[in-house]
Structure formats: structure tokens, C-alpha cells
Structure 1
Amino acid sequence: MYKNTMKSVFAASAFLVGVSGCFAQDILVNSLKLNASDKSKEAFKFTEVVNLGTTSVKNQGSSGTCWSYSTNSFLESEMIRLGKQPVELSQVFSARNVYVEKGINYVRMHGAVTLGDGGALHDVTNMYKKYGAVPREVYTGLNYGTDKNKFAEMAALIEGVLAAVVKNPNGELTPNWQKAYAAVIDSYLGKVPENFTYKGKNYTPQSFAKEVVGINPDEYIEMSSFTTSPYYQKTTMMVPDNWSFDQVYNVKVNDMTDVIDNALKKGYTVAWATDVSEKSFSWKNGVAYVPTKKFDEMTAEEKADMFNGPKAEPEITPEMRQAAFDNYTTTDDHGMHIIGLAKDQTGKEYYIVKNSWGETNDYKGFLFVTKNFVKYKTTALMVNKGGIPTDIAKKLGV
């Protein structure tokens, strides 16, 4: 059963936001406590402007599968928008299929492509299109005695299998390696059911996607912003976890927030991939912004005050954003789900973001992110075509 989570949290005054390119929850939380402030929640006074429906907050555990959690949450909210009863979809089903496809690609590329848990927003819609979907209750991926994801051992084994295949000891590859590789994955995550029963009816993953979820993956597009490619055309997203070499639409910096604003206003949520390595991203405090000074240039007092209320931010330019990509200060760290808009006591707007690290921060699994942070640190965003402003859609040809 879905709920308008943020309304219930505001009412309770308790608004609480791997490892390749997507941080595992248990690895990152401690590192993000450095600049946490016990007074932050008292110093920020948020008022919601837009709050769209979403399903419950999940915990990705010790796995770098944030991209699957965030994008499946996005698809669940799309079901809500379409007037459907949302189904909590299996994030591990999407991830399992990506492991298989990534392994095939890895061998074809002679090992010269990224492995690990990391992925991209489009991986979920690509796998949905090819493999369908299943409910979370049908395929949890917890096939080895744990109550949450713990993928390190599996990751080490599948890397070993693929390394052996790439060495090509027979001098010619056989098709059997794919069976052996999939068997390792399935021994940890469980075999995918060919058929399953949901609410008294039998489905395959493909029929479930078509009849119950009812989403057309071709209606969703990704975009980002780079100065290195022409605007309003597609470009390959040059991040390590784009193992499938998918392309995204290249838009201007301000277009990204214009798209998000328009989408939220029209009832569409947005899947969001971003860098969370900044000291101005605080998981505990549930706030992210762009400071006017670099952390290393701040005084001890300024560092201690980082999350004690709203702060000024610099203007984000295309050159500033591109430089951060090029010098590795913006990295493809994490995927989350933008579900709404709020204002602080000064009138500054923040996006309301749903995370997948459980309900362990001040806002029970949610985060307030400034528009400037989104402009500066977004690696990609995904939205339904219907949420794109008309003028931008026309330029993109969608």
C-alpha cells in the first residue's frame, strides 16, 4: 500500500535521505557523519510545496544497487500517477538481470569494461523491457540466510568466473560459460521463477510487467549536461558504470532543474543519479547544498556550522559543472528518487528526495537537496516524456 510519505512525516515533525559507482548503505553512512550537526533539524524549517505519492523507504544493505532501488521506486510512483495500485517491485530482479547482461558484455569486451554492483538508471528500464518485472515478495534475492543484501562474496566469485572466461583457456569460448556464470548468481540470489502467483493469478515476469505494472519503458528518457557535446542531441554518458554505453540527451545546466520543476508540477517524479561525495551532502542531517567555499578553505567554525540552517550558494555555471566532471570531484556515486519540492524558512527551494538507506537519518529516509546541488552534481536524471517542458521537448525531438 503506498502512502504520501512526506505528509505523514511532516505531520509527525520527523522528516528523515556501490562498490562500483553506487555506495552501499553500510559503507557510506559512517563516512557521511563527519559534518553532521545535532542542531540541523531545529535550524531548518521546511514547508512542502509539492509532494507526490511514493512507496515505502527501502534499504539496499551491503550492495551497490542504488540505481535499481531508485529507478524501481520511480516506476512504482509512475504506477501511482497512472491510477494503479502500486506494486513494490523486486529491485534484485533488475540487478540480477544486469549482472547477467554485464557479464556477457564484459566477456565480449575482453574484460575491458566495469564490473561490480554499479549501474545506471536506464539499466532498470532496459531490463524491464527485456525481462519484465516481478513483485519484491516473489524475488527478494535473500537466498543465503541474510535479512538484507550482502553481495561482496557473490561479487568476488562472479568476477573470478569472468576472469577465467576472458583468459580463454580452451582457445575458443564455449556457450557453457554463460550457464556457469548465471548459476553462481542464482545460487546467491535465487533462480528467477518462470511463473508465479500474485493475488490469485498466475503470471510470467513478462505478463506481469504488461498486465499489472503497465508501464511503457519507451516513454522514459535520460538526460545530463556537458559542455563537451552539442546541446539537445544524444551523447554517450562517460561514467564507468555505463557498462552498456547508453546515450543520454545533453541539455543545458538550467534545463535540468526546469525539467524537474515541470515534471513535479505535472505529477511526474524523477529518478536521479548524482555525486554524494561532497562534504556538503549530509545523510544524517538530510540536507545537501553547494557551499560558497571549498571545505579545505573553511575555518573550523565554518565547518561546524555547515548544517546549522540555510546557507548561501554560488551560481552554477556550465564550466564549473564540467570541470568537476573532468577533475573527478563529481563522480557517479548514487541513485535516488526525487518526489517533491519544499521551501526553507528563507524561501529557497529544495527537492524532496527519497533514498534507499533505510529510515536511519533525521527525516526517516528522505533528504532535502538544493537546486544548485542538483545543477552541479547530477550525473543523470530520468523522466517520463510527458514531464518535459514543451520548449525543451521540441528541441530534443521527443
Structure 2
Amino acid sequence: MKTNLITLALLTFAFSVSAQKYDFQTLKDIETEPVQAQGITGTCWSFSSTSFLEAEILRINGKKIDLSEMYNVRHTYPKKAWNYLMRQGKAQFGEGGLNHDVINSAKIAGLVPQSVFSGYPNGTNKYDHSKMAEELETLLKKYANPEVQLDPKWKTEVNAILDQYIGKEVTEFTFEGKKYTPMSFLKMTQLKLEDYVPISSFTHEPFYKKFILDVPDNFSNGSFYNLPLEEFILNIDFALEKGYTLALDADVSEKTFSSKHGIAVIPENESDATLILTEIKSEKAITPEFRQQEFENYNTTDDHLMHIVGIVKDQKNNKYYKVKNSWGKDEKHIGNGGYIYMSVPYMKLKAISVLLHKNALTKKTKKALKL
């Protein structure tokens, strides 16, 4: 009887050690604006980048400013329409974009606060671009006929749709008792948009060089600096430790990316795919070769853009990145308060790219990239 009790105790102890629920401890937490919801839109790229710029403003001058995500969207759609029509309909036209699209928009059109340009149509408080996207695509397909001379009135019609669903352009406004234009407001924030650089890691292009990332949402043909995988991850870590956040483009199609549980992991064993969402399990070792393979076979795609704002660890000292999502905090996405704790293996495998301040790069990388 005594032997049986000892055996039972040992089995219970072994089970408790092997089946540990996540218990996270914060290592680094950089202040940002609250989690937002992009609603029924494909504008994660603007929510990601705008949140990133808000954090940069706070880091640079201590100001907390809720920037308008939809102002960037409003000024990017005409560029996407231009790209589609100039390529005579032989390009993707959709709701997607990348982090540099917000930087490009801000350079030309400036920035405005959310209180000035909410982007909510007809006094609503939820975003839904499904009808707008459908109307825009129908309109552009009508004009994208290479056998018919392009009528310049397409610009007026595109802007009319955007005015209806997102809002009319802003030329002047008052914020905290002062008058601004979007460009003077950008200047007030002290952001230097030329200081932000995108980095990535793929083996089909030379390292330490710029390359155009071949993904569907890169309609603006943005260039990225290519780094070896370990150096790519090292720079993410270095930036966070120095108090810089990063805008992230990543694949979220894995069933082990869960906004409900607030976790993103890559199990070593496929059989652990369900349990690993709530319990610590071994994760796969990610090599540059495997990362490249998953990119080339479409298992890794640029699904979703988010914002890396900190680092946490579990009770086994496994490290995770605290990633701010833009799906709100309802019961489907409550997770860790609307944040995703993304493991290092997940970041290694599924991060397409990150955008960061050039001074957030390590000295070695900065020198290699001639920045």
C-alpha cells in the first residue's frame, strides 16, 4: 500500500511538471496607446503602423497622442487605385498594405489625431469596409480596360467613395487649443519619418542589401534590408531592451496562433497543437532553411500586421514577445488583454518583417547596412 502511494505521488508530480499552465512574468513593457479594433476591414497595416508611431511620439517627446488610423487609409487607397489602373488591372487591388505605406502616406499627407478624423461613417463607432471595398473594386475594374482610353474622372469617383465611407480630407484643424495642418501636426510630433527602416530575413536575396519583398500586399514595391535570421531576431531584442517598439508583419494562419488564448507558438510535435495553447510544450527549432521553405511553399504569408511592445517569460524561462493586436478585446480576442504573447520560434518562422527606428539597430547591423 505504501509503495502504491509513493508511486501515485511520483506520477502526480511528474504530471504536474510536464503539464504546466502558462504563468507569464513581464520582463519589458513599453507604454503604448490602448488596444484598438480594426473592425471588418483589412487595415491592420495602418493600425500596426499608427500604434507604432504613437509609441515613437511618446518615446521622443513624452506626448500621448491618439492618431487616426483611417486618415492613413484614406490617403493610401488612391495610390493603390493608381497602381491597379496603371498596370491595367494586372495587379492586386484590395484592403491590404504594409507598414511603409503609412510612412509613405505621412510623408505626403501628414498625420492627424483620432479626434479630428475618426473614419467612422454616418456617426457609427465600428469600422466596416466591406461595401466600400466592393464598390471600389467594381469601379476600378470598369476603368482597367486597356482597349479603352482611361478617363481621368476615375480619380473623382474613387475619392467620392472614400469620402462617403471614410471621410473627406482634412486641411486644417484645432488640437489642444492650437491650429494645425496635417503637415504642421506631423512636425509638432517631432517624428523624422526618414529614420524608420524595415528589416527582414530571407535566403533568396543577399544579406545586408535592400530587396523588394515579393508579397501581394507590397503594391508600393517597398524595399527591405535583408539580415541573417539570428541577426534579425537579435535586432528585435536589442530594440526592445533599448526602449524601442517595432511594427510587425507576420503570418497568423497557424492554428497555434490564438487571439482567444493570447498565444502564438510553434509546437515541436504536431500532436501538441491544441494543448500548447494553454500548456507549456516543447517548440520546434527554426532554421533559416526551414523558414525559407515555408515562405516559398506559401505556408508563411503576410497575413497580418501588429506591434511588438515588450517581452515576457513563462515559468520555464521561455521568452515571448508581447505583441499588440488590433482585433479588440471581445470574447473571441480577449487573450492577454488583446495582446499576443509570441514565442521566439514563432517569430523566427512567421515574422515577415519589422519596421523600427534606425537607432534601434545594433551597431554591427547599422554599420553593415551603412546607416
Q: TM-score, normalised by structure 1?
A: 0.85
Report the counterpart of residue 228 of structure 1 in structure 2: 204
Q: What is the CA-CA distance between 1:256 and the residue it aligns to?
A: 1.8
Fraction of identical pairs, as percent = 39
CA drift at 1:144: 3.2
Give the equivalent residue in structure 1 for 2:317. 347
- Which residue of the partner structure matches residue 326 of structure 1? 296
| Correspondence for 2:365 | 392
2:41 is equivalent to residue 68 of structure 1: no
RMSD over aligned Cα atoms: 1.3
Conservation of the 8 A alpha-carbon contact between 2:267 and 2:273 = no
Q: How does 1:5-20 map to 2 (within 5 A)?
A: none
1:267 aligned residue: 243
SS at structure 1 position matched to 2:121: coil
In structure 2, the residue corresponding to 1:167 is in which secondary structure?
Answer: coil
What is residue 89 of structure 1 aligned with on the other side? 67
Q: Which amino acid aligns with 1:228?
A: H
Distance across 2 between alignment mates of 1:66 and 1:303? 26
AA aligned opposite 1:392: T
Aligned to 1:140: 118
> What's the counterpart of residue 180 of structure 1?
157
Structure 1 residue ranges, 4+ long, deviating more than 4 angstroms after superposition: none
Bigger relative CO (Cα 8 Å, ≥ 6 apart) = 1
Check the 8 A contact 2:256/2:274 in 1, yes or no. no
1:380 is displaced (CA, Å) by: 1.1
Matched with 1:242 is 218
Deviates most, 144-153 or 284-293? 144-153
Q: CA deviation at 1:125?
A: 0.7
Distance 1:168 1:239 in 2: 25
Q: How many residues align?
A: 349
Q: How many angstroms apart in 1 are the aligned matches of 2:208 and 2:219? A: 23
Q: What do residues 144-189 of structure 1 show as CA deviations (whole Å, max 9, x unaligned)?
A: 35321100100011111111111267x3223222111111111111
Question: Which piece of structure 1 moves more, 305-314 or 253-262?
Answer: 305-314
Contact 1:223 1:382 in 2 (8 A): yes
Alpha-carbon contact 2:46-2:99 (below 8 Å) kept: yes
Alpha-carbon contact 2:61-2:190 (below 8 Å) kept:
no
Q: Per the alignment, in what secondary structure is the counterpart of residue 305 of structure 2?
A: strand
Corresponding residue of 1:310? 280
1:375 is matched with which residue? 348
Structure 1 residue 293: Cα displacement: 2.7
Corresponding residue to 1:123 among 69, 77, 101: 101
Would the aligned equivalents of 2:238 and 2:362 in 1 still touch at CA under 8 Å?
A: yes
Contact 1:274 1:332 in 2 (8 A): yes
1:293 corresponds to which of 264, 269, 276? 269
2:257 is the counterpart of 1:281? yes
SS at match of 2:243: coil
The alpha-carbon deviation at position 382 of structure 1 amounts to 0.4
**Secondary structure of 2:307's partner?**
strand
Aligned match of 1:20: none
- The DSSP-based 3-state class of the residue aligned with 1:100 is helix
Distance (Å, rounded) in 2 between the aligned partners of 1:85 and 1:121: 22
Give the 3-state SS of the residue equivalent to 1:144 in structure 2.
helix
Counterpart selection for 2:127 from 129, 142, 149:
149
Q: Are 2:328 and 1:358 equivalent residues in the alignment? A: yes
2:16 alignment partner in structure 1: none
Contact between 1:144 and 1:189, CA under 8 Å: does it hold in 2? no
- Is the 2:261–2:278 contact (alpha carbons within 8 Å) kept by the matching residues of 1? no
Establish whether residue 53 from structure 1 lines up as the match of residue 53 from structure 2: no
CA distance in 1, matches of 2:329, 2:72: 23
Instruction: Give a deviation string over 1:195-251, Cα, whole Å, max 9, x none.
Output: 11111111111111112x220111000011111000010111110000001110111
The whole-number CA distance in structure 2 between the counterparts of 1:258 and 1:397 is 18
| 1:122-153 alpha-carbon deviations (Å, 9 max, x no partner) | 11111111110010111111123532110010
CA drift of 1:303 comes to 4.2
Q: Give the corresponding residue for 1:193.
A: 170
Displacement after TM superposition at 1:72 (Å): 0.5
Long gaps (5+) in structure 1 = 1-41
Contact map agreement 2:89 2:145 (CA 8 A) in 1? no
**357-366 or 89-98, larger mean C-alpha shift:** 357-366
Give SS of 1:125's match: helix
Specify the code of the residue in structure 2 equivalent to 1:285. Answer: H
Tell me, in whole angstroms, the C-alpha distance in 2 between the residues paired with 1:159 and 1:304.
39
CA–CA distance in structure 2, aligned partners of residues 394 and 163 of structure 1? 46
Gaps of 5+ in 2: 1-19
User: Is 1:218 the equivalent of 2:194?
Assistant: yes
Cα distance, 1:324 vs structure 2:
0.6
**Cα pair distance change 1:161/1:210, threshold 3 Å:** same
Match of 1:109 among 87, 95, 99: 87
Larger radius of gyration: 2
- Report the AA paired with residue 243 of structure 2: G
User: Which segment is superposed worse, 180-189 or 378-387?
Assistant: 180-189
